[in-house]
Each structure stands twice: as C-alpha cells, then as structure tokens.
Structure 1
Amino acid sequence: MAGLKSLKKRRRIQVLGGAALALAVAVALIGYGFRDGINLYRSPTQVAEAAPAPDEYFQLGGLVKEGSIINRDGVAFDFVITDGAVEIPVAYIGRDPRPDLFKEGQGTIAKGYFRDGRFEAQNLLAKHDETYMPREVIDTLKDTGVYQDPNS
C-alpha cells in the first residue's frame, strides 16, 4: 500500500511538472510570434521627449505639415509629421506608391524606425475619406490643442 501512494504522488508531480513545462513553452512561442507584431503608437512630442532605439519598429502619427512633401526618385518622398507642438522629418522608403488620399494638412500614421533624428517610414496609412482621421491622431492633436472638428 505504501508503494502505491508513493507512485500516485510521483505521477501527480510528473503531470504537474509536464503541464508547467508545456505552459512555459507556449508562453515563449507566443512571445516569439509577437516580437514584431506589437507596434506602439507615438506622437511627435513623445518621440522628441524620449527617442526610441534605432531598431524599434513603431507607429508615428500626426498631421502632414503644409508644404513639406518633397518627391525623390521612384516612389520615395520626404515630408514632416507634426502634432502642432513638435515636427518630425519623415523619409518614406517603402515600396508602394503614395496613397491617393495622402495630402498635406491631413492625418496620417507612418510605420517604421526613428534613426539619426529622422523617421524612416516603410508603410503609410492615410485617411479613408475627407472626414476620416485615425483616432490616435485625433487624441494627439486634442492633447496639443491643435485639433479642429471638421463638422464644426
């Protein structure tokens, strides 16, 4: 009888140990899968206050500054994103052409890296229609007092 209790106890410990190991492997695999999938949003003010590491991929949002779009070779171009308080120069280095609704004075979100005082955008998100602006950009502009409701 004593050997049977010891065997049950040992088996229970083995099952719990195996479950803990499986859980640790699952958490590690999920973390590995999300390593590039989590893109933090930042405003120009947040980037100026605490510059991210050069290898950190994130989203930068705000308004495209009037008169700041400069075309380069191919689909590449430069522009400035502002939240009304801080301006960040952006170089679009992606492969896709500029979105049709990407214009000066409109809200946009650029995805890429901040290196050497300039944001290198690999992807751009522009508004869907004349009244749309990404929620994050609206919140940023409201925080700096620049936002004007298009319906007013």
Structure 2
Amino acid sequence: MTRKQRRLYFVLLGMLALGAAVALVLTAISDSLVYFYSPTDIVTQRIPEGRRMRIGGLVEADSVKKDGKTVTFTVTDVTNALPVVYSGILPDLFREGQGVVVEGRMDKGVFAATEVLAKHDENYMPKEVADALKKSGQWNDGKSK
C-alpha cells in the first residue's frame, strides 16, 4: 500500500467518524426538542399521539376539577379548548382565567400533563400564548381598564 492510499484511507475514516458524530448529535437534539402548540394547532393539525409537547392558553372558567392529587381542567385559546389531566401539586398562581403552559403528551384526545407552569405575575404571559391569543382576536393587553 502506498503513502497516498494510506492517507486516503485515513481521510475517509475520519470523514466516516465525523459523519457518525454528527448523526449522534442530531439524534440527541431531536429527542430533547419540545414543540409548543396552541389548542387550535392541536385540533387543526395532525400531531401524532405520544409526542412530547407544550400547549399554552388560558385555563377555562369553571373547568377545574380536583380528585385527590389528580386535577382535570381545560386549556383554551378562546377558539378551541383542550382537556388536560395532571397528577401532582399545581403552582400557587394556577387559577381559572389565567395563562398557563402545560407540558406532556396527547393520549386519546386528552392531554396528559407532566408539568404545569402558571404565569408568575399579573402582566406576564408566555410569548407563544400571547401570539395565539392575538391571532384569535382575543388579546387583552390590560390597558383598557
């Protein structure tokens, strides 16, 4: 084997190793991505069940039902609503009519939440939730009191 051939094999082996490393990094990134959807996005798009995602909107009035540690409620963007089931302790600021972001998976038409994030003060709303409310025409900036 000549020096040129050996060098060519090392270059090809290096490129193969680099390609494998890139493939592993891309696989790891795609596994950790969590997409954000509004209830309207969930209803109108074909999102596969079991995919980890976040949904955001407002907790619908008169929808919170507690049964021990299990809580069921409805998240709405005023256009569509999505039922949510959560087992655990809710944040102190969680209440009806307030903004919320919920992380979990869809399971037979019900969103099974693993984490519930409530807004932290009276002016805060996640950007995605605010954008969804503006898009639906239900945005209230709080200036008209």
Q: Is the 8 A contact 1:44 1:87 kept in 2?
A: yes
Structure 1 pair 59–10 and aligned structure 2 pair: CA distance change class (3 A): same
Gaps of 5+ in 2: none
Alignment pair present for 1:149 and 2:141: yes
Determine which of 96, 101, 116 is the counterpart of 1:109: 101
Q: Which has the larger radius of gyration?
A: 1
- For normalisation by structure 1, the TM-score amounts to 0.87
Gaps of 5+ in 1: 1-5
- 2:31 match: secondary structure: coil
Q: Deviations over 1:74-133 (max 9, x none)?
A: 2x201000011001011113x4x1001111111111111111111111111111112111
Please state which structure has a larger fraction of its residues in strand: 2
CA shift, 1:26, in A, is 1.2
Where does residue 83 of structure 1 map in the other structure?
77
CA RMSD of aligned residues (A): 1.6
Where does residue 3 of structure 1 map in the other structure?
none
Where does residue 121 of structure 2 map in the other structure?
129
Q: Deviations over 1:29-57 (max 9, x none)?
A: 21332243100001101100124222211
Among the aligned pairs, what percent are the same residue?
A: 38
- For normalisation by structure 2, the TM-score amounts to 0.91
Alignment pair present for 1:72 and 2:75: no
- 1:113 match: secondary structure: strand
How many residues in Structure 1 have an aligned counterpart in Structure 2? 144
